[in-house]
Amino acid sequence: MPPVRVLTVEGATVTFGGRRVLDGVSFSVEAGEFVGLIGANGAGKTTLFRVVLGLLKPSAGTVRHLGRRVGYVPQKVAIEPDAPLRARDLVALGLDGERFGVRLPSRSRRERVDRMLEAVGAAAFADARVGTLSGGEQQRVLIAHALVGQPSLLVMDEPLANLDIKSGHEIVELVARLAVEQDLAVLLSAHEMNAILPHMDRVVYLAEGRAVSGTTGEVIRSDVLSELYRYPVKVLDVDGTVVVVGGHDVKVR
């Protein structure tokens, strides 16, 4: 059976004030794949996500989705601590938050929400107000919101930006595990790539409006990354774990 392409972007072009931020970007994501999107600040990662999610219409090019819906986890949400919205309320909105009309609570809905909260490790704070949770806890709740509707593609913009090393690894492992369990494709952007390296099947990198994609082994190399960031970047093997570090002072022993 040929792999299903859940997302196909062809020739996406976006211009802001005469500047081409995306210039004919093409790539695709297959079912069950874990794809990392990398690129320097201002390279157009968030812009590309907005195109993929249909929030921004490209001046040229097409975006095709196959399969069920798309789940989206923004980098962060600004919810005040006082807002009367529990973690479980936000996850329940993931079931059908876009629909009009009244929906009576039901046992099966409640169970789906509970199971999802459990799966992301958010059961302990299910009844807390979302606004009072820490960045990492909110991240889990947002992931549950995105996944409870059983999407075929999960899009995450810099999910690791506010997380400490442990939380970052836990979130990535969680998503990688759920991706396998739910046959989910994952597309996420990250500056700090060490946490995602062990799980990433493919890398799409953005530079000067163009996208190049390759396997992790092809892209995560000192010469390729140094060229991409125009800055010395080294890919090292530390006790069997591949790590990426940057800076003029990095010496390889």
Distance CA 148, CA 113 (A): 7
- Work out the number of other CB atoms within 10 angstroms of the CB of residue 150: 15
Q: Taking CB within 5 to 8 Å according to partner kind, which of other proteins, Mg ion, ligand ATP, none is near residue 47?
A: ligand ATP
d(CA 52, CA 35) in angstroms, rounded, equals: 14
41 binds, among other proteins, Mg ion, ligand ATP, none (CB under 5 to 8 A by kind): ligand ATP
Cβ-based nearer residue to other proteins, 52 or 225: 52
If one counts every other C-beta atom within 10 angstroms of the C-beta of residue 226, the result is 15
- Neighbouring residues of 115: CB distance < 8 A, sequence distance ≥ 6: none
Q: Which is nearer to Mg ion, 120 or 188 (CB)?
A: 188
E-strand stretches of 31-114: 34-38, 60-65, 70-73
Give the SS3 label for residue 242.
strand
Task: Give the footprint of other proteins on this chain (CB under 8 A).
Answer: 53-55, 69-70, 72, 74, 77, 79, 82-86, 89-90, 93, 96-103, 127-130, 142, 145-146, 155
Q: Report which secondary-structure segment, H or E, holds 147.
A: helix 135-147
Q: How far is the CB of 165 from other proteins (least distance, A)?
A: 26
Q: Taking the complex as a whole, how short is the minimal distance between the CB of residue 11 and ligand ATP, in angstroms?
A: 17
Task: Please state the length of the chain.
Answer: 253
Q: Which does 53 bind (CB under 5 to 8 A by kind): other proteins, Mg ion, ligand ATP, none?
A: other proteins
Structure tokens at 128: 């807390």
Residue in 12, 27, 29, 39 binding ligand ATP, rule: CB under 6 A: 39
Q: Contact between 73 and ligand ATP (CB under 6 A)?
A: no
Nearer to ligand ATP, 17 or 84 (CB): 17
Question: Tell me, what amino acid is at 211?
Answer: A
Q: How far is the CB of 101 from other proteins (least distance, A)?
A: 6
Footprint of ligand ATP (CB under 6 A):
16-17, 21, 39, 41-47
